Amino acid sequence: MKLKTFLVGSSVLMFGVCIGLVVSLKMSAVTTAQSQSVKTAAIAAGSVNGFDMEDAVINVAETTGKAVVSITAEHITKVGGRQFTYRGPSGEQEELFRRFFDEFFGEMPEREYRQVGVGSGVIIDSQGFILTNQHVVAGADKLSVTLPDGRQFTAELKGQDARSDLAVIKINARNLPVAQLGDSDTLRIGQWVIAIGNPFGISVQNAEPTVTTGVVSALHRTLGRTLGRGRDYNDLIQTDAAINPGNSGGPLVNLKGEIIGINVAIFSTSGGYQGVGFAIPANSAKRIVGALLAGKKVQYGWLGVTIQELNDDMAGYFGLKDKLGVLVANVVKDGPAARSGIKASDVIVSFDGKPTADVKALLSIVGQAEVGRKVKVQLIRDKKPMTLEVEVGQRPDDVEGENIEQAPAAPAPNWRGIKAEDLSAQTMQRFEIQEKTAGVIVTEVETRSPADEAGILPGDIIVEVNRQPVGSMDDYRKITKSARGDVLVRTERGFFLVKESSQ
């Protein structure tokens, strides 16, 4: 009986052991399979054209890197004679002193002062055409190019466009490596990119360019006029790949070695790398480069309006369901928009069949539109949709406004937090206004008042209240005295919705 019990117990134990081994083997197989799957996925995710991440960067450095050049721009300033200044009561005495020094010491020879700037560029054509930034070569008396193989050439400026900050220079050389412009519209945030260039002029002495890696940290960035130094820096690629002074004009490339941007600027509090750099998208550069290579002036489409974004209050005032549109703040006299019938307070929702959700979208679409072509503009006026046809104009280098003289008048009482008065010599000097114009100037805005909440600032010039023109303080008093409810105030900066005071 004991023997039978032992045999049964042993059988059960052996069966349990077998079951455990089977389960263990299956779990091990699953774990191995999962590990292999993750490893395979990781290799696939970090590989390009058969290369893993590290090899892809090396491959780009050894191929596209060969087409990246260092550019030295020399600026020569000539100073003639003795730089003599005498602060006396008359010009005659100054001339006497000048003659005295010339007679006893002789005339000073003309001297030259040489300033040297460095930047980067990339060869885009086997005939020696090099793409770079306009600010790298602007005003240079001599341009020199150093190739990664050590060869040096004198370069010729073939074309430049200050607005886009792009330029094309040319060297006479053979057997040149060439980099290809890629499709920047396919970029995604988080995508790996490589910046190649000549930071701090290092490559002038050591010909090989510097390679840094990072990711696309943001897309469609816009730099203001202050950061952009007056240039049109819109729709930029932002990257954390190290970009430093001297990298300007060099390419930002993908892991395939295709140019997807031209490095143009850094955002820094120290002047050096802090993880925020910007590049002009390759697709934006293609149209510019085509014109420059053909020796043509780059033309930009122009509508002739001042525009602003819509906020929720503005959208509700104009009867819109959402903020997808651009508000026309001002219309340039005799410009394309004025000739087509577009008016201030119109909301543009589509241009040439393309939606204009915000200011950036409209600026981009109009700027790339073909000059002279007639396009349809869909807009909302008085809460009703309408379509107008406009002939795209060529953006002028400068647009001047009218100068209308107005007699000064006494300040008006505080209206919804605004203190205003006519433009005078004193107020123009106080708010640094260069030209006198129609309207009244805001001198004070009460804190937490309806005007303050709307965004009106001291120095704003009010030209309309509730779509009625304000040419002087008399107009302003009459209109504001009878104004009720939410009031639309138009300034030279744009429209503001000033709500009725709750006090």
Give the residue numbers marked as catalytic. 135, 165, 248
Q: How far lies 109's CA from each of 76, 95, 112, 114, in Å?
A: 16, 19, 10, 16
Q: How far lies 496's CA from each of 110, 314, 329, in Å?
A: 58, 8, 10
The token duo for 16 is 């349990």
Q: Spell out the residues 6+ positions from residue 477 whose beta carbon is closer than 8 angstroms to its own.
A: 412
Residue 206 CA to residue 480 CA, distance in Å, equals 69
CB-facing half-sphere around the CA of 351: CA atoms within 13 A: 29
Nearest to 191 by CA among 146, 254, 149, 140: 254
Contact 402, 437 (CB under 8 A): yes
Amino acid at 197: G
Q: Which residues pair with 374 in a beta bridge?
A: 391
With H, G, I as helix, E, B as strand and everything else as coil, classify residue 13: helix
Q: Spell out the residues 6+ positions from residue 223 whose beta carbon is closer than 8 angstroms to its own.
A: 233, 236, 265, 278
Q: Which residues pair with 279 in a beta bridge?
A: 237, 263
Q: How far lies 198's CA from each of 228, 229, 272, in Å?
A: 21, 22, 14
